[in-house]
Structure 1
């Protein structure tokens, strides 16, 4: 059953049975192209944290008593496309209504629940500028997690890297989804920042 336009769903990341990130988002579309979601700057999200450190700083097993800490989403209004069965999502960033670039988030194919979708972040990301110049993000962190039992073995890491390189080729070529699609997106005027529900 597809999600409805304007419905609020929760996009969550999981690792080893632990909820590591939660984002409430508005549904823009849910069709053969995938699940398209919107989140405004200032939306309250939950990020797994311990003593000020996040999973960007330490591996999950180095956290003794982590908890989801609520904080506002910063910097960019964000449109997220999760294509069916894809091991990535594509994010469009907007600032003051103007397109500011893409973000390629490598992740496991999403699974659906009644109130949202769950995925596992693959650590490695690619930032693509509006002129389609690109740069790796979290490459050192990705390399450090290879072979870690809570993350990915060398073969899985190679698949993640290959998928990222395939998407970079699309970006360099200006091919879909880097072809101008959604760059002029405007959300429903009623869609403001959201608050994270009590239970994630």
Structure 2
């Protein structure tokens, strides 16, 4: 069953059976084109960190000693996130919190999402793409991606090649100015009555 507009759901990353990131987000729409979600700066999220504060960007899960989910506030960009059904990625639109100016796109490579009663789950595939408003692009986290190949709980070389190929396909869309990089949603503004998600709205950390 689709989520209702303005409903708050939790977008979770999971790996090896545990949550690694959880973001409460407000549903803009949920239809055959995908699940479209909004989250402003200041929203309380939860991120998996090790005892010394290192995150998965700095240390893979199997090397963490005693990882725990830690609550913190989302910073820098308001984000609009599209999760197309069956897609191995999500697309993020960045907006400046001060004036809503569009700041570019982010292609997050991830597994197709699974619905849960309170939200959705996906597994982050480490490699990402940053696309500027002028559609210039760059890979993100390539070193981290290379280190993850063959690591416990991650992916083998064949799967890594498939992940990168999906990224290359999205880069081609960006170069061509094709959807989702065609200007759709770049003027998005949230409903003022439901724009803010700041406060203690995170569910128990599990």
In structure 2, the partner of 1:140 is 143
How many angstroms apart in 1 are the aligned matches of 2:114 and 2:121? Answer: 5
Please state how far the C-alpha of 1:18 moved relative to its aligned partner: 1.2
Where 2:90 maps in the other structure, the secondary structure is strand
For residues 130-156 of structure 1, give each alpha carbon's deviation from its aligned partner in whole angstroms, at most 9, with x where no partner exists. Answer: 000001110000001111121000000
Q: Does 1:180 align with 2:186?
A: no
TM-score between both structures, scaled by the size of structure 1: 0.98
Q: Is the 8 A contact 2:49 2:67 kept in 1?
A: yes
TM-score between both structures, scaled by the size of structure 2: 0.95
In structure 1, the partner of 2:49 is 49
Please state how far the C-alpha of 1:32 moved relative to its aligned partner: 1.1
In structure 2, the partner of 1:102 is 105
For residues 10-38 of structure 1, give each alpha carbon's deviation from its aligned partner in whole angstroms, at most 9, with x where no partner exists. Answer: 00000001100000000001011100000
1:192 to 186, 192, 196: 196
How many angstroms apart in 1 are the aligned matches of 2:102 and 2:38? Answer: 14
Q: Which runs of 5+ in 2 are unaligned?
A: none
How many angstroms apart in 2 are the aligned matches of 1:60 and 1:113? Answer: 23
Q: Which runs of 5+ in 1 are unaligned?
A: none
Q: How does 1:1-200 map to 2 (within 5 A)?
A: 1-50=1-50, 51-95=52-96, 96-190=99-193, 191-194=195-198, 195-200=201-206
How many angstroms apart in 2 are the aligned matches of 1:118 and 1:198? Answer: 16
How many angstroms apart in 1 are the aligned matches of 2:3 and 2:102? Answer: 26
User: Root-mean-square deviation (CA), in Å?
Assistant: 0.8
Paired residues in the alignment total 200
For residues 16-68 of structure 1, give each alpha carbon's deviation from its aligned partner in whole angstroms, at most 9, with x where no partner exists. Answer: 01100000000001011100000000000000001110000011011121000
Please state how far the C-alpha of 1:196 moved relative to its aligned partner: 1.7
Runs of 4+ in 1 over 3 A off after TM superposition: none
Q: Is the 8 A contact 2:10 2:119 kept in 1?
A: yes
